[in-house]
Amino acid sequence: LKAEAQGFLVHLAVEDTDSSRGGCTTYVAALLVEELLELGAVFTDYPNLVRLNPNIPYKTRGNGAVALRFRIKEPEEAFQLATRLVEEHSYAREGLSEPAVALLVGESIPAELGELAGRALWDLVEVSYAKELAARLGIRFKTWNGDVGLVGALAALGNRLEGDFTFEVLAYRERAYWGTERRVDPESVVEMERWTYPYTFNSYDREKGRVLITPRGPDPVLYGIRGEEPQLLLKAAAMLRVAEPIELRLIFRTNQGTGAHLKNPLDPHHPKPHTSGRLRGYVASNPTTGPGGHVYFTLQGLEGGRLYCAVYEPTGGLRRVARALLPGDLVEVGGGVRPPAETHPPTLNVEYILVLRPAASRRYVNPLCPRCRARMKSMGRGQGYRCGRCGHRDPRARKQVVELPRTLSPGLYLPPPRAQRHLTKPYQRYGLEKRGGTIKLIKEWFTRLH
């Protein structure tokens, strides 16, 4: 009865497969939040920014969808509002994007929807299955230019971000500035990161001196700062020196930086193209460097099967780690499976290497002469050794084993921040993982500034 007085609990998802003209799912979501608040919606969670399997072929730039969760008297009004805003902002009419809106009313998320959401993090979910499920669960939806966007919309609806999660504060530009250079002082980004470490992440790439909080395209995002807590993100935002007006600012709760896409174990016997996951095993070949500087090696799974692995050039220093691998090294790798082509079998596009136990590096050398300490020479296979200096012969002498030091230490190795996926869990987040809990919105989670 109490719930009814406050209205229905509504889950509303927007997936706007970004067009090249700079559509942006989160911006449509921000406008939608503002209008829903005016309609009297009471939000029960931050807008959820759900990143999906980054290794699927029809991915959008960020492959993310947004789910809003709120109480409202008239759910249909919310649906109409969402479809209108998507049409106004997504370039769907020009045929440049394939957005979708989906709405579910209910206190809980149906198990099958949760299952779809879990699978969408690492697998390829069929559009036909998404449509069938939406019909069966009474999910109201609208799509444009095909139904591809429905998968992402349902995946966002069904993902309550119940395990580990992070936040991102996004600031949006005034329309007059879209497409112009973003006026955020890089020095202030460096300072902000220094002051907020380890509670913000991937704001800056030290190696290349590149600011990562500002996107490059013509989209309305001015910057996005990722981190652990909403209040801290607002402090971080206040540290930036920004020389242009900010229209809107909104805090999202998200699975970014949680590694959620790599939890699934891969089967090296049948690596399914476009799936993401991880595999533990022994390095089975010496790494080779191919054209373009990509490094390749083969991993033998603990239960057999072999997976061809590639550490591509953009992953920078991760290739140094790959080149230092030796056959017999026990490692875990995570990444996405690329389909086979004429030149290669199904290939894992490696996103991390966890070195568990480096193999001993051995070299076999001829024995030393016991008389004069010179290296002896072989007298032929199974014939023993002879000293070239003093003539000493030893038919029973054998090669000696020399243990070489390994340059590779056990531990986790990631690409530099600029090459990480939205979902990649950065080093500093290890030990900071959250475990669900009650979500309480801070007052300034949504602000119109201009």
Interface residue list for Zn ion (CB under 5 A): 369, 371-372, 387, 389-390, 392
305 versus 367: smaller Cβ distance to Zn ion: 367
Instruction: Determine the angle formed by the axes of helices 111-119 and 127-137, rounding to 10 degrees.
Output: 160
Q: Which two tokens stand for residue 201?
A: 């992440």
286 versus 400: smaller Cβ distance to Zn ion: 400
**In the complex, what is the shortest distance from the CB of residue 393 to Zn ion, in angstroms, rounded to a whole number?**
10
Instruction: Determine the angle formed by the axes of helices 148-158 and 111-119, rounding to 10 degrees.
Output: 110
378 versus 428: smaller Cβ distance to Zn ion: 378
**In the complex, what is the shortest distance from the CB of residue 388 to Zn ion, in angstroms, rounded to a whole number?**
8
**In the complex, what is the shortest distance from the CB of residue 373 to Zn ion, in angstroms, rounded to a whole number?**
8
First-last CA distance in the chain: 39
Q: Which two tokens stand for residue 47?
A: 């807008």
Which residues lie closer than 8 Å to 282 by C-beta, 6 or more apart?
299, 300, 302, 327, 328, 329, 330, 331
**In the complex, what is the shortest distance from the CB of residue 372 to Zn ion, in angstroms, rounded to a whole number?**
4
- Rounded CA gap, 386 and 320, in Å? 41
365 versus 372: smaller Cβ distance to Zn ion: 372
User: Which one, of 163, 191, 196, lies nearest residue 436 by Cα?
Assistant: 163
**In the complex, what is the shortest distance from the CB of residue 390 to Zn ion, in angstroms, rounded to a whole number?**
3
- Rounded CA gap, 247 and 125, in Å? 36
Q: Which two tokens stand for residue 128?
A: 């036909």
198 versus 384: smaller Cβ distance to Zn ion: 384
Helices (H), 90-185: 111-119, 127-137, 148-158
User: Which one, of 195, 215, 196, 213, lies nearest residue 204 by Cα?
Assistant: 213
Whether omega before 198 lies within 30 degrees of 0, making that bond cis, reads: yes
**In the complex, what is the shortest distance from the CB of residue 369 to Zn ion, in angstroms, rounded to a whole number?**
3
Distance of CA 353 to the CA centre of its chain: 15
What is the full DSSP assignment across 16-37?
A: ----TT---HHHHHHHHHHHHH
Helices (H), 290-354: 318-323
**In the complex, what is the shortest distance from the CB of residue 376 to Zn ion, in angstroms, rounded to a whole number?**
7
74 versus 394: smaller Cβ distance to Zn ion: 394
362 versus 371: smaller Cβ distance to Zn ion: 371
390 versus 402: smaller Cβ distance to Zn ion: 390
285 versus 366: smaller Cβ distance to Zn ion: 366
- Rounded CA gap, 349 and 214, in Å? 26
Q: Which two tokens stand for residue 301?
A: 């799974």
**In the complex, what is the shortest distance from the CB of residue 399 to Zn ion, in angstroms, rounded to a whole number?**
17
Q: Which two tokens stand for residue 223?
A: 């910057």
307 versus 376: smaller Cβ distance to Zn ion: 376
**In the complex, what is the shortest distance from the CB of residue 374 to Zn ion, in angstroms, rounded to a whole number?**
5
Classify burial at 48, counting beta carbons within 10 Å of its beta carbon; exposed 0-12, middle 13-18, buried 19 or more.
Answer: buried
- Rounded CA gap, 325 and 337, in Å? 20
**In the complex, what is the shortest distance from the CB of residue 391 to Zn ion, in angstroms, rounded to a whole number?**
7
